[in-house]
Amino acid sequence: MSINHVRPWRNIYRRDSRQISVGSVKVGGGAPISVQTMTNTITTDVKATIAQVQAAADAGADIVRVSAPDRDSALALKEIVAVSPVPIVADIHFHYKRAIEAAESGAACLRINPGNIGDETRVKEVINAARDHGCSIRIGVNAGSLEKHLLEKYGEPCPDAMVESGMDHIRILQDHDFHEFKISVKASDVFMAAAAYQQLAEQTDAPIHLGITEAGGLMSGTVKSAIGLGNLLWMGIGDTLRVSLSADPVEEVKMGFEILKSLGLRHRGVNIISCPSCARQGFDVIKTVEMLEKRLEHIKTPMSLSIIGCVVNGPGEALMTDVGFTGGGAGSGMVYLAGKQSHKMSNDQMVDHIVEQVERKAAEIDAAAAAEAAE
């Protein structure tokens, strides 16, 4: 068993929500918080889109969203869905018929924007298509595309307007006896989004999809998302999430897992604890961590690794990790296994040796899990 377990003082209370299915993935009702991303290829370029879906899935994505802006794109989903390793959500804007076509093409979920999809009659047709083809629906409210009457009522996008839009569409779905839905209330403003999500969580038991929309580039967008989503998750709000970045979708998946790992809500791959380095370091910490991050990307097993430059905090951090290395002197450092001092290793051989130790530990953890499951 990994030493990287969840301790009682780290537990986060999670809001009670109904559970729905997005294809094979359960969302809400205590299911693991799923990580999503969205392709940015031209959907009709089926080969490129499938390649991007596969890359996202390899990075750990539980669900992938694909845009269906026109009829050809909606019909192309049939080929994409047929080979996708994860459920596909069809992203629908403006034309309700695209949602119907996407449902017929096998999409697991239909994302509709209340401000763009049209009146209740059109929404009803989407509901019927979703029901007929076993799709769930995501009500995707966005501060940038609220209904005209709400903008006139409130004067500008705000949390109250966003939640009212979402609740209005929840009522439409419920009035038509459709309950396989989740909802999001996204904004690019962290404060607006967080306030809207908090209000929403108090008014519905529907699963909530978290996101800070149009957050920005890799660094700035990750920071905004970590602040906004992190605080909401800390409060127990959120059943699935997407970190929206102007970057490769794979980076969105990685950042999503990093946010969840930092809160102890999901554990996937190696969690590296490392120091920022200083004059006390016994080896080049920054370069070492960069190499290890790349060399250990293939590890999916949840486990922890500490890489600390000196003995000030190194031994203490190593006590709480599966594998650890602490810098010493004279060109070598100490290797820790399962929180205990094990043996010395030269700095020159340290990276290869740590990779070997992590792979060995991951194999042990996987074997133990398999044996437990077989009992």
Point out the annotated binding site: 275, 278, 310, 317
Quote the CA–CA distance of 135 and 102 in Å, as a whole number: 10
Q: Which residue has the tokens 């996101």?
A: 211
Helix extents (H) in the chain: 46-58, 71-83, 96-104, 114-117, 120-133, 148-154, 159-175, 190-203, 218-234, 249-262, 285-295, 314-318, 350-374
Instruction: State both tokens at 83.
Output: 């080979």
Whether the Cβ atoms of residue 34 and residue 63 lie closer than 8 Å to each other: yes
Q: Which residue has the tokens 């290890």?
A: 292
Whether the Cβ atoms of residue 270 and residue 257 lie closer than 8 Å to each other: no
Quote the CA–CA distance of 259 and 275 in Å, as a whole number: 19
Q: What number of helices (H) and strands (E) belong to the chain?
A: 13, 15
Instruction: State both tokens at 301.
Output: 């097993």
Quote the CA–CA distance of 219 and 224 in Å, as a whole number: 9
Whether the Cβ atoms of residue 102 and residue 92 lie closer than 8 Å to each other: yes
Quote the CA–CA distance of 243 and 253 in Å, as a whole number: 7
Eight-class DSSP state of 321: S
Eight-class DSSP state of 7: P
Strand-strand pairing, 181-186 and 88-92:
unpaired
Q: Reduced to 3 states, what is the DSSP secondary structure of residue 274? A: strand
Instruction: State both tokens at 4.
Output: 């990287």
Which residues participate in the annotated binding site for [4Fe-4S] cluster?
A: 275, 278, 310, 317
Instruction: State both tokens at 174.
Output: 């419920």
Report the 10 Å Cβ neighbour count for 166: 24
